[in-house]
Amino acid sequence: MATPATVHSHAPQGFIRKYIFSLDHKVIGLQYYFLALTAVFVGMFLSLLMRIHMIWPTASIPLVGEIKPETYLALLTMHGTIMVFFVLTTAPQGGFGNYILPIQIGAPDMAFPVLNMLSFWTTFVGFIVILCAFFVQGGAPLHGWTGYPPLSAVPSAGPGEALGADLWITAIAIFCVASLMGALNFITTTLDLRAKGMTLMRMPLTVWSWFITAILGLLAFGVLLSAGILLLMDRNLGTSFYVPLVVINGQVMGHKGGSPLLWQHLFWFFGHPEVYIAILPGMGVASQILSTFSRKPIFGYRAMVYAMLAIGFFGFMVWGHHMFMSGMSPYSAFAFSILTMCIGVPSAIKTFNWLGTMWKGHVRFDTPMLYAIGFVSLFVSGGLSGPFLAQPVLDIPLHDTYFVVGHFHLIMGVAAIFGIFAATYYWFPKMFGRMMNETLGRIHFFITLAGTYAIFMPMHYLGMAGQTRRYSQFTEVAYQTKLLPLQTFMTYAAFVTIAAQFIFVINLFWSMFKGPKASDNPWDATTLEWTTATPPPHDNFGGKTPVVHNGPYEYGVPGASKDYVMQTDPPTQPVH
Amino acid sequence: MATYTPSTPVDDIGQKPPAPPITGGGDDGRGGDVPDYGARLRRARLGLICGIATVGMVFISLTSAYIFRRGLPTFQGESNSYVRDWGSVDLPWLLLGINTAILLVSSISMELARRKAARQAALAPVTSIPGVSLGEEKNFPWLGITVVLGFAFLVGQGLAWGELHNRGFFVSTNPSSSFAFLLTVAHALHLAGGMIALVWASSASLFHRPVEARRIAVDITAWYWHFMAVLWIYIFALLGLAR
C-alpha cells in the first residue's frame, strides 16, 4: 500500500516490468498518452460518421453501411463518452500530469507507484469495456454522454439500452475508480514529495493546475460512481431511484416514483467539475508556454493560482445551470445563474494575465507557443458564449440547439485538445530526446485552428436559427433544410481538419525515431524538468536531489548572465 | 526567509518563539539507502486522508439521494394525486445494535494493535542490539481479534439482511428498503476492503517485512477501520432518524 518512491531506484530490465506493468511514472504517463491518442482517433472517426450522416443521410459508408437514426444516437453517445473520459480527462492529467509533475517538483516518482500502475490499467480496462458496447446485441447505448434516465435506466427503452448500456455504465464506474486512485496519488505527491525549496508558491502553474484538477477529481468522481451504482440498481435490481411510472411500447414497467431529476443533480454535480478537470491542465500548460516563449515572467503568478482555485471552487456550485430546462424554481435558477457568471471573473483574470504575459515580450513563435496562443483564442471564443447560456431566459431557447454544441466543443473540447497539442510539442523533446518537425507542426497548427473554427463557429448561428441538436437528420424538416448548406460546409471543414491530424501523427512517430537530437533544455526554460537529462533517467535526476532557489518563471531577470534563471540556479534575490 | 536564532533570550519567555527556518516544500529525507519510515508513514496517512475523502463523497452523495428520494411526491393514477411512496423499513434494531457494539469493540482492539505496532517500531533499534531485552511483552493478538470481530460484524450484517428478507423487505420493495440495502451493503463492502488490508498487515510478519513497514500498514488500516466505525454509526443514525 505504502510503496515508497525510494525502493526502486534501479530500473527494471525485463520487457514486461519495464514497458507493460511499469511502476515508473514516465512510462505510465506515456501509456496514458497513447491510450488517449487511440481513443481520440476512435472518437474522431465516430464524429466523422455523424457529420457524413447529417448531410447525406442515406449514404452507405464502406464497412459501416447505412447509418440509421438509432445508430446516429449510438455514435453521439460513444463519441461524447470516449472524448470526455478517455481523451480530455486521460491525456492532460493521466498523461502529462503523470510524466511531468514528479519531475517538476523534484521527486523521483509518484508517491504510490503501484497505485499509479493500477490506475492506468484500470483506465485501460474501462476503455476496453466501453468499446465492447459496440459489439454486443443491440449495439452501443443511445442516451448520450449524460445518460439521462428513464432512457438510460430501462433496458427495453431502445436498441443499445440493454447490455450496451450496462457496459457503458460499468465502463464509467471503472473509470471513476481509476481516476480516484490517480487523484489520490497526485495530491499526495504534490503535498509530500516536493524537493527542498519547492514551496507552494514556487511550483510551476502546470503543477498547480494538475494539483487542483486532482482535488476536483477526488471530490467529483465519487459522486458519479454513486450515481452510476443507483442507475445499475434501477436497471438490474428493480429499484426506482430514477425511474417513474413509465409505459414503453404499451407495456407498464415495474418502476414507480423515481425521479430522473435525481440523476441530473448527481450527474451534473460531477459533470460541471469534469469540465474544469478537462480544461485546467490546459490552462497550466498555456501559462507555462506563454511565459517561456515570451521570455517574460508570467503576469500575476499569484493571481493565476488564486484564479484556478476560484474556478475549481465555483465549479462545484453551478451544476444547476445544466438543468434550467428541468423546470427548477426561478430562485434556484437565479442563484445558479449568478454563481455561473461569477466564474467569468477568474476566467477573465487568467485571460488578461496571459495577454499581459505576451505584452512587449520577445515572443518566439515555435509550435508549442502557437498552440498556447490558439488555446487562449479558443478559450475566449468558447468562453464568451458561456454568459449567454448562464442566463435561464436565454438558455431555455438555446439549450437544445447547436449553440450549446458549439459552446462546449470550443471551450471544453478543442481548447483542451489545443492544450494537449501544446504540451505534446513542448515536452516531446524531454520525453523522447528528439525534436518534432517545426514545419509540419506549423502546418498542423494553422489547418487545425482554421478548421476547428470553421466547424464550431457556424454552430452558434445554427443554434440561434433554431437548429435542434441530437437530431440524426435535417433533410426532411422543412425549416431546417435551409440551414443545410452551413452543415455541408462544416462537414467539409471536418474532413480537412481530420486529415490534418494525420500530419500530427506522422510528425509524432517520425520525430520519435528520426527527429534531430534534442538538448537538455531546448526552449531555454526554467523549471526542473529542463535541468535533468533528456530523456530523464529512471529516478529522474540521476541520483541527485534538486534544491530549488527560485520561482518558476524567472525570465529577463536584471543582472543575470542570460535571459533566464533556472529554478535550481543560485538565488537571484538576496535572502532577507 | 526569516532568520532562525536558536537561543531564546530569557526575558522573552512567554512570548511567541521565533519562527523556525522555512525550508519549504517537502523535505522528505530522501537519499541514502535507509528508507525513511517517518516520511513513508506521513505519506501513507496523507494518501489515506484522500481515500477517506473519496469514500466520504460516495456516502455524502448517497445521503443526498436518500433525502431527495424520501421527500419526493409520487403521482398516483388511481387517486389522481401526489402521494409519498417512501414506506418504512422494519429494521432488526436489536441485531443491528449488537453489530454496532461488535464494530465498536473491534475499533478498540484495532487501536490497541496500532499502538502496539507503533511501540514495537519505536523500540526496534534497541531490541535489535544483541543481548538487549526489554523483558517479556505480552503478546496479545489484537490484530487477530480485530479480524475475528470484523468478520463477526459482516456475518451479523448478513443475518440482518436475511431478517429483512424474512420480514418481506427486498431491495426493490420500496425506496426506503432499497436505500437500507444499498447503504449497508456499500458499507460492508468497504469494511471487507479493510479486512483484506488487515489480513495483509497481520501476515506482514510472515514475510519477514521490517517491523517499521508493518507498523505503517497497521497504522493506516487502523485509521481506515475507525473511519468505517464512524461511517457505520452515521448510516445507522440516518436509517434510524430519517425513516
Task: Say what percent of chain B tops pLDDT 70.
Answer: 81
Q: Would you place residue B36 in the very low, low, confident or very high pLDDT band (cuts 50, 70, 90)?
A: confident
Q: Are the beta carbons of B46 and A187 separated by less than 8 Å?
A: yes
Q: Are the beta carbons of B85 and A256 separated by less than 8 Å?
A: yes
Least CB-CB distance to B58: which of A226, A257, A258? A226
Could you write out the DSSP letters of every residue in A319-382?
GGGG-GGG---HHHHHHHHHHHHHTHHHHHHHHHHHHHHHTT------HHHHHHHHHHHHHHHH
Contact B211, B152 (CB under 8 A): no
In the Cβ-directed half-sphere of A137, how many Cα atoms lie within 13 Å? 4
Among B48, B64, B178, pick the best mutation site for testing chain A contact (most A Cβ within 10 A).
B178
- Nearest chain A residue to B177 by CA: give it: A239
What span, in angstroms and rounded, lies between the C-alpha atoms of A373 and A381?
Answer: 12
Q: Are the beta carbons of B25 and A265 separated by less than 8 Å?
A: no
Q: Which residues contact B216 (CB under 8 A, 6 or more apart)?
A: A1, A2, B37, B40, B41, B44
| CA-based nearest distance B218→chain A, Å | 11
Q: Are the beta carbons of B47 and A198 separated by less than 8 Å?
A: no
Q: Are the beta carbons of B61 and A269 separated by less than 8 Å?
A: yes
Residues of A in contact with B197 (CB under 8 A): 1
Start-to-end C-alpha separation, chain B: 57
| CA-based nearest distance A2→chain B, Å | 6
Domain map (residue ranges) of chain B: 43-69+90-130+139-241
Q: Are the beta carbons of A192 and B46 separated by less than 8 Å?
A: yes
Among B58, B83, B86, B196, pick the best mutation site for testing chain A contact (most A Cβ within 10 A).
B58
Least CB-CB distance to B40: which of A2, A180, A223? A2
Q: Are the beta carbons of B65 and A266 separated by less than 8 Å?
A: yes
The pTM of this model reads: 0.92
Residues of A in contact with B61 (CB under 8 A): 222-223, 226-227, 266, 269
Least CB-CB distance to A192: which of B43, B56, B77? B43
Least CB-CB distance to A226: which of B31, B43, B62? B62
The pLDDT of residue B243: 81
| CA-based nearest distance B32→chain A, Å | 9
Average pLDDT over residues B185-193: 97
| CA-based nearest distance B212→chain A, Å | 12
Q: Are the beta carbons of A2 and B217 separated by less than 8 Å?
A: yes
- Nearest chain A residue to B33 by CA: give it: A6
Closest among B99, B36, B44 to B223, alpha carbons compared: B44
What span, in angstroms and rounded, lies between the C-alpha atoms of A214 and A216?
Answer: 5
Could you write out the DSSP letters of every residue in B120-133?
HHHHHHHHTSTT--
A147-171 burial, b at 16+ Cβ within 10 Å, e below that, comes to bebbbbbbbebbbbbbbbbbbbbbb
Residue A547 DSSP label = B
Q: Which CATH architecture has domain B43-69+90-130+139-241?
A: Up-down Bundle (1.20)
Least CB-CB distance to B44: which of A1, A220, A258? A1
The pLDDT of residue B11: 41
Helix (H) and strand (E) counts for chain B?
5, 2
Q: Does the pLDDT value for residue B16 go beyond 70?
A: no
Q: Are the beta carbons of A2 and B220 separated by less than 8 Å?
A: yes
Could you write out the DSSP letters of every residue in A438-476?
HHHHHHHHHHHHHHHHHHHHHHHHHHHTTPBSS-S--TT
Pairing of strands A60-61, A554-555: unpaired
The pLDDT of residue A378: 97
Q: Are the beta carbons of A199 and B24 separated by less than 8 Å?
A: yes
E strand or H helix at A247, and its extent? Answer: strand A247-248
Residues of A in contact with B24 (CB under 8 A): 194, 196-199, 202, 548
- Nearest chain A residue to B27 by CA: give it: A196
Q: Would you place residue B140 in the very low, low, confident or very high pLDDT band (cuts 50, 70, 90)?
A: confident
Average pLDDT over residues B38-60: 95
B63-91 burial, b at 16+ Cβ within 10 Å, e below that, comes to bbbbeebeebebeeeeeeeeeebbeebeb
What is the ipTM for the molecules in this complex? 0.91
The pLDDT of residue B30: 42
What are the residue ranges in chain A where pLDDT is below 70? 1-10, 573-576
Long-range contacts of B232-238 (CB under 8 A, 24+ apart): B232/B100, B232/B103, B232/B187, B232/B191, B233/B100, B234/B59, B235/B59, B235/B183, B235/B184, B235/B187, B236/B96, B236/B100, B238/B63, B238/B66, B238/B183
Least CB-CB distance to B27: which of A188, A196, A237? A196
- Nearest chain B residue to A9 by CA: give it: B33
Closest among A449, A450, A402 to A76, alpha carbons compared: A402
Residue B11 DSSP label = G
Residues of B in contact with A271 (CB under 8 A): none
A507, amino acid identity: N
Q: Are the beta carbons of B53 and A218 separated by less than 8 Å?
A: yes
- Ordered by where they begin, the domains of chain A are 68-197+212-258 (no CATH), 271-503 (1.20.210.10), 515-576 (no CATH)
Long-range contacts of B59-62 (CB under 8 A, 24+ apart): B59/B183, B59/B186, B59/B231, B59/B234, B59/B235, B60/A223, B61/A222, B61/A223, B61/A226, B61/A227, B61/A266, B61/A269, B62/A226, B62/B179, B62/B182, B62/B183, B62/B186
Residue A60 phi, psi (nearest 5): -100, 120
What span, in angstroms and rounded, lies between the C-alpha atoms of A494 and A505?
Answer: 17
Q: Are the beta carbons of B69 and A575 separated by less than 8 Å?
A: no
Q: Are the beta carbons of A218 and B77 separated by less than 8 Å?
A: no
Residues of B in contact with A269 (CB under 8 A): 61
- Nearest chain B residue to A179 by CA: give it: B54
Residues of A in contact with B182 (CB under 8 A): 229-230, 233
